[in-house]
Structure 1
Amino acid sequence: MTDIIRTYLKKQKYLIIDGALGTELERRGGNLDDPLWSARLLCDNPEMIAAVHTDYLHAGADCLITASYQATFQGLARHGFTHEQARKLIRSAVTLAKTIVDGFWADSANRVNRLKPLVAASVGPYGAFLANRSEYTGNYGISEHELVNFHRERLKTLVSADPDILACETLPCFAEARALVRLMEDLVTDLDMIPAWISFSARDGQHINSGETIRDCAQWLAGKPCVAAMGINCTDPVHVASLVKEIRSVTDKPVVVYPNKGEVYNNLTKSWAPRPGVPSFGEMAAQWVKYGARLIGGCCHTTPDDIRRLALALKS
């Protein structure tokens, strides 16, 4: 397996991941009030997803994460999609992002002082399919073997669309990470050249949302060849520096971080605003880099402007 992440990082110090997709689509007027969330727009309005992907590339992102987070065979079947329709929709998330990257790269002006951007196929957690907030706890009530079976068909389908990376993201519990690694090891001949990153959602500076320590998770993942990088996403950014240090204490694999923007909701203005007394997203990112993060981007509420500032700061 060629580790495209390490190959990329040998040529430039950091890999800039894009920012939020779902909340950015909502900010632009997309209706995501649906259990399928952004996956609904793969069917109803792929042009809006394409526009967000394009803006992140122009902002300096080196990697796009696909709109497949909520796209599962089980979830799509529940909403009336046939198996073949679901397969095509899941694949379309990857082909859409790849098409956007290819179009961007075709313009020679976009190739100055940068490498061709990568496409990471999003593999969201089982709890996202349940849509009962268990993605924030990991309290699924099913076995690790059942998690393997849940993810199997989607993972094979995403791989068949030939992304550069698998982004197994927002995992709230260690069992789901183990299930995905087992599955990738089973599919190693199909995966061939596609590495994966595993990123957890965390409750504080030491524990993922299920309460298990990030250090124990990272130590186990460190010994798995199919895992090219590991880290944190969809987490309060104030916890990230500590989490990076915990991960780096047990592995030399690249650390990936793309937390939420860290804003709080103002009930009076019905809007999100920076938390008083907390450093800016960019200032916190400087700390993540200091402690060893190499793949860096944003999750909920981050925008192309945030990624532009992040890219300028790190690439300078």
Structure 2
Amino acid sequence: MPRASGPLAEALRRGSVLLDGGLSNQLAAQGCDLSGDLWTGRVLDERPDQVEAAHTAYARAGAQVLITASYQVDPRHPRAAALLRRSVDLAARAAETADHEVWVAASVGPYGAVLADGSEYRGRYGLSVRRLADFHRPRIEALLAAGPDVLALETVPDPDEAEALLTVLAETGAPAWLSYTVADGRTRSGDPLPAAFARAAGSEQIIALGVNCCDPAEVLPALEAAAATTRKPLLAYPNDGSVWNAATRTWRTPDHPAPWPTRAWRTAGARLVGGCCRIGPDRITALAAELSRTGDMTDDQSS
């Protein structure tokens, strides 16, 4: 079946849409080497076949949106434009293998991701909004040239970086979602969530707002904060509750992982639902079955 023919925004008005899971954990499960600062970008450069295979695993698991491997590609890299285009092309090819419609979301990770030191979980890099916009602009332009269905402005740690991304987005006219990474009921930089969500609520190009790469227990309060500031569809794709240690490059898994009350998330307004780090195809298959049982999945595309 070809890629989705209609805008994702229209699908969200009809019901829930299922996102994929974590790309890095799936690549690791396939035996890929994720060492070094490029992380998944290294595999994108050296083993694009493995990136396509990871996307295909999620498409076959029932995911309706595939998020590209561009999260950690530094736009200053000599081959950045080619790698960014490749990331979209690989996801689009994987989408063709599904027996349901699949959208391709081009990942635009935060500035902190390219530093490879965990800065995306702190924010406040000491850069102005203008400098952050200048950093993001060439990557966004290169991704859009490859023809994704939507931009995923994801794992944003603070409102200033959100403002920079929205500044560049306004220059393009492209649709996008924006998701913060949060902790303790605030953005990772410590800013209150209502004000953070309000930064993006007025943008007509933002088709959904929410959170990703956070503990599942953080999701519902964040969605409630977002719903108080916007009538846009909301989104949630948390990790499994593990905490990333940038110094040792390892995850610390909780002794008692938080449950995933996805019904409560959808009741709060979440229409894009999926997983981030350490959430694999099996979990996405289970989510697809859950959405199918409730009749909530857009066009019941869970076959």
1:52 Cα deviation after fit: 1.1
Answer with 194-203 or 20-29: which moved more: 20-29
1:273 Cα deviation after fit: 5.4
Matches within 5 A, 1:68-83: 68-74=70-76, 76=77, 82=78
1:203 Cα deviation after fit: 1.1
Contact 1:264/1:275 (8 A) holds in 2: no
1:274 Cα deviation after fit: 5.8
1:9 Cα deviation after fit: 2.2
2:94 corresponds in structure 1 to 100
Matches within 5 A, 1:48-127: 48-74=50-76, 76=77, 82=78, 85-102=79-96, 104-105=97-98, 110-111=99-100, 116-127=101-112
| C-alpha separation in 2, matches of 1:275 and 1:287 | 23
Contact 1:3/1:195 (8 A) holds in 2: no
1:132 corresponds in structure 2 to 117
1:133 Cα deviation after fit: 1.9
Identity of aligned residues (%): 39
- Structure 2, unpaired ranges of 5+: 245-249, 294-303
Matches within 5 A, 1:1-316: 4-11=7-14, 13-74=15-76, 76=77, 82=78, 85-102=79-96, 104-105=97-98, 110-111=99-100, 116-188=101-173, 194-205=174-185, 207-263=186-242, 275-276=255-256, 278-281=257-260, 284-316=261-293
**Is the radius of gyration larger for structure 1 or structure 2?**
1
| C-alpha separation in 1, matches of 2:243 and 2:137 | 36
1:100 Cα deviation after fit: 1.4
Contact 1:17/1:62 (8 A) holds in 2: yes
| C-alpha separation in 2, matches of 1:50 and 1:217 | 34
| C-alpha separation in 1, matches of 2:102 and 2:20 | 10
RMSD: 2.0
| C-alpha separation in 2, matches of 1:160 and 1:122 | 14
* Runs of 4+ residues over 4 Å off in structure 1: 270-274
| C-alpha separation in 2, matches of 1:34 and 1:298 | 24
Contact 1:124/1:168 (8 A) holds in 2: yes
What does the per-residue CA deviation read over 1:122-167, in whole Å, with 9 as the maximum and x for residues that have no partner? 0000001122221111121111100010011111000000100100
1:196 Cα deviation after fit: 0.3
TM-score, length basis structure 2: 0.89
1:286 Cα deviation after fit: 2.3
Q: Structure 1's 37 and 279: CA in aligned 2 closer, same or farther, altered over 3 A?
A: closer
Contact 2:216/2:258 (8 A) holds in 1: no
Contact 2:8/2:149 (8 A) holds in 1: no
Q: Structure 1's 178 and 272: CA in aligned 2 closer, same or farther, altered over 3 A?
A: closer
Contact 2:44/2:83 (8 A) holds in 1: yes
